[in-house]
Amino acid sequence: MPASAELGPVPDAIARAYDPSRFRADGHRLIDQLADHLAACTSATDDGLPVIPWLAPADMLPRWPADFADQPADDLVDTLTATAAGSIRLHHPRYLGHQVPPPVPGAALADAAAALLNNGMAVYEMGAVATGQELAVVAWMARVLGMPDTAGGLLTSGGSVGNLTALLAARQAAAGFDAWTDGADAGPPLAVLVAATAHYSIARAVRVLGWGAGGAVEVAVDERYRMRADDLTRAHAAAVAAGRRPIAVVASAGSTATGAYDPLPAIADFCAAHGLWLHVDGAHGASAALSAQHRHLVDGIERADSVVWDAHKLLAMPALCTAVLYKDVTRSYQAFAQEASYLFAAEREWWNLGLRTVECTKRMMGTILYASLRAYGVGFFRAYVERVFALGQAFAARVAAAPDFELAASPDANIVVFRYRPEPELGGAALDELQAVIRRRCLEDGRWYFLSTRLGGALWLRTALMNPLTGVRELDGVLDAIRSAAAAVQR
C-alpha cells in the first residue's frame, strides 16, 4: 500500500471538537447563560435593561473582527454570551417590533436537538423520523383550518418561500400551458389579483415567475385596509384588458402592515365563479383558527386552494418554519414538476418531501413544532394567540382614548398602527417627520422597540404585540415614551 494511502489517527483538533464531554460542559454553561438572559428579560420592570442595545452599523462591524486564526481564539460560550448581550431581546416585555415572537424556551431546546441530529429531508431515508413528524404537524394544521380530507402539504423555510411555492403550483394548475417545461413565454402573460397592502413577497414572487411588475394587479382596500371583494371584477377586467390571463387571487389573513383579514368567503365566491386559484397568505394570522373567539377572522380559509401559515409567528416557534397547505395535496407536486432521478424513484413518492420544496437539504423544522405541540399542548398555543390579540385590542383602546394620538384602523389582531398627533392641524410632511424622529430617537435609546410603516402615503408608527408577557405597564409606557421623545425634539 502506498504510504500516501495510510490513514493515521484522528487529528487532535477533530477529536476535541467532537468530544462528548466538552459538548456536555459547554452545553450546561450555555443553558445557564441563556436562562440568565431569559430571566433578565422576563423580569424586566424598569428601564435598566434595554430592549435593543443599539449600535450603528459602522460601529457594529469592528466588534466582530474577521481575523480568524488557525488555532482557537475564543471560548464558544463566551462568544455566544456576547452575542446574546448585543442582540435584540424578544423576550423583553417592551419588545413591540417585528412579527417575530419570543420563542417558547422548550422550542429552543428542540431546535438545538434538531441542529445536532441534522437529518436532511430531501429523501425519507435521510430524515425518516423528521418526515413522519412533519407530515403529522401539517395534517394537524390543515385540520385546524377546516380544510377537507384531501388536504395536505409540507413545511418550508419562511413565508416568502411558501408564497412562491404556492404560486408555482397555481401557475402549473391554472395557466393553461406547461410553464415549467416550456417556459413563461409558452402562453399569454399571467397575473394574480392582490391588494396593495399584501406582503412584498407576493410582488417578488410574480417577478421571480417572470411576469414582471404587471403580474400583480392591484385590488382596492377599504378603510380598514382589507381587500374589497367588490373591486375584484374591475381588477380582473383590467388584467384582461392589459393582455394578461389572471390565474389567482392572493388574499391576506393577517396582513403584515396592519394585521387586517380580507373577506375570504366573498373572495372565494369570486374565485369559484371565475375559475381562479385562491391563495391565502395566512403567514401571520392563520393561527386565529385555534381560538373559538377569533376563528371568524379566517372563515372561508378552508375553501382556499393553498394557504401559507408561519409557525414562527403566532405559534411562537424559532424561525423558520412555514406550512404550505393545499386543499388538494396532489397539487403540491405541480410546484416543481421536474426530474431528479438520483433522488426520486417515482414521480409521486409522498414520503420524499424534497420533490415538493425549494430546499433539498431541509432542516428538521417539523421536529421542533412536533415536540413543542406534544410538550405544551394545543391549549398553550390557543392561550398565546388569545393573549397577544387581547394586547392588540387593549393597546388600540388606549391609543383611541388619547387626544394626542391617532389610530389608523381598529385592529383585527395584535398589530396596531397609530401616530402621535399633538395638534389636530399638524399634518403632511411635518407630521411624517415627527413620526420618523420619534421612532429614531426611541430606537437609539434602546428602551422601547417599535416600527413605522406607510399607509396611504403617510408615515405611521406600528407595533406588533408578539410577547405574551407584555402587560398594562408596557402599553401605557410606550405612549409616554413617545410623548417624551416628541417633547425632546420640540424643545
Q: 131 and 82 in one domain?
A: no
Q: Mark whether 236 and 289 lie in a shared domain.
A: yes
| Distance from C-alpha of 448 to C-alpha of 106, rounded to nearest angstrom | 26
CATH of the domain at 399: 3.90.1150.170
Element (H, E) at 373: helix 365-376
b (16+ CB within 10 A) / e for 10-28: eeeeeeeeeeeeeeeeeee
Q: Is the pLDDT of residue 312 over 50?
A: yes
Q: At what angle do helices 200-208 and 159-174 cross, to 10 degrees?
A: 50
d(CA 304, CA 267): 10
- pLDDT tens per residue across span 193-237: 999 888 888 989 999 999 998 999 999 999 999 999 999 999 999
Tell me, yes or no, whether 326 and 221 share the same domain. Answer: yes
Residue 13 lies in a domain: no
CATH number for position 288: 3.40.640.10
DSSP code, position 221 = B
CA distance 308 to 2: 57
Say how far apart CA 151 and CA 328 lie, in whole Å: 5
- Which H/E stretch holds residue 219? strand 216-219
pLDDT given for residue 347 in this prediction: 54
- Residue pLDDT, tens place only, 24-51: 999 999 999 999 999 999 987 766 899 9
Phi, psi of 339 (to 5 degrees): -100, 140
**Whether residues 156 and 274 fall in one domain:** yes
Q: Is residue 77 part of a domain?
A: yes
pLDDT of residue 491: 62
In a domain, 369, yes or no: yes
Q: Which amino acid is at 20?
A: P
* Entry field: residues in the chain: 491
- What the block records as the C-alpha cell of 220 is 382596492
- Same domain assignment for residues 363 and 412: no
**2 inside domain:** no
pLDDT for residue 379 is more than 70: yes
Residues 238 and 132 both lie in one domain: yes
Residue from 421, 393, 429 nearest 482 by CA: 421
Which candidate, 226, 282, 217, 221, places its Cα nearest to that of 248? 217
Q: Looking at the domain assignment, is residue 10 inside a domain?
A: no
Residue range 128-156: average pLDDT? Answer: 97
Please indicate whether residue 303 or residue 1 has the higher confidence score (pLDDT).
303
Helix (H) or strand (E) holding 206: helix 200-208
pLDDT, position 342: 42
Residue 168 — pLDDT band, cuts 50, 70, 90?
Answer: very high
Residue 196: the pLDDT is: 86
Q: Band of the pLDDT at 346, cuts 50, 70, 90?
A: very low
Q: Examine residue 340 and state whether it is found in any structural domain, yes or no.
A: yes
Q: Which three cell numbers stand for residue 295?
A: 376563528
Q: Could you tell me if residue 4 is inside a domain? A: no
**In whole angstroms, what is the distance from residue 406 CA to residue 400 CA?**
6
Residue 377, sorted as left (phi over 0), alpha (psi -120 to 50) or beta, turns out to be left
Within this chain, do residues 392 and 460 fall inside the same structural domain, yes or no? Answer: yes
pLDDT at 345: 43
Prediction pTM value = 0.94
Of the three residues 376, 408, 430, the one that is the final residue of a domain is: 376
- Which pLDDT does position 338 carry in this prediction? 54
Provide the 3-class DSSP secondary structure of residue 420: strand
> How is residue 426 written as a grid cell?
399638524
Same domain, 256 and 344: yes
Q: How far is CA 230 from CA 121, 245, 253, 270, 431, in A?
A: 43, 20, 18, 9, 33
Model pLDDT, residue 343: 46
**What total of structural domains would you count in the chain?**
2
d(CA 203, CA 217): 10
Give residues with Cβ within 8 angstroms of 282, minimum separation 6: 145, 252, 253, 254, 298, 301, 307, 308, 309
For the stretch 400-413, pLDDT in tens is 999 999 999 999 99
With respect to residue 113, please indicate whether it lies within any of the assigned structural domains.
no
- In this structure, are 137 and 98 located in the same domain? no
Cell of 322: 412555514
Above 90 in pLDDT, residue 245? Answer: yes
pLDDT at 131 over 80: yes
pLDDT digits (tens, 9 = 90+) for 79-97: 999 999 999 999 999 999 9
User: Cα(216)–Cα(206) distance, rounded to whole angstroms?
Assistant: 7
Same domain, residue pair 54 and 159: no
215-222: which pairs have CB atoms within 8 A and are 24 or more residues apart?
215/189, 215/190, 215/191, 215/244, 216/191, 216/192, 217/191, 217/192, 217/193, 217/242, 217/244, 217/246, 218/194, 219/193, 219/194, 219/195, 219/249, 220/195, 221/195, 221/196, 221/197, 221/260
Q: Which residues, other chains included, contact 91 with Cβ-Cβ below 8 Å and sequence gap of 6+?
A: 38, 41, 42, 102, 467, 469
What's the confidence (pLDDT) of residue 351?
85
Cell numbers describing residue 36: 440568565
The more confident residue out of 409 and 349 is: 409
Structural domain harbouring 332: 119-376
Alpha-carbon 475 to chain mean position: 24
Tell me the β-bridge partners of 249. Answer: 193, 278
Give yes or no for residue 259 having a pLDDT over 80: yes
Residue 340 has pLDDT above 70, yes or no: no
Question: Is the omega angle on the peptide bond into residue 320 within 30 degrees of 0, that is, cis?
Answer: yes
Clarify whether residues 342 and 385 are in a common domain. no
- Residue at which a domain ends, from 376, 395, 430: 376
Q: What is the pLDDT of residues 445-482, one digit of tens each?
A: 999 999 999 998 999 999 999 999 999 999 999 999 99
Domain end among 356, 376, 396: 376
Q: Would you state the pLDDT for residue 368?
A: 97
177 vs 37: CA distance, rounded Å:
55
Looking at the structure, do residues 366 and 384 belong to the same domain, yes or no? no
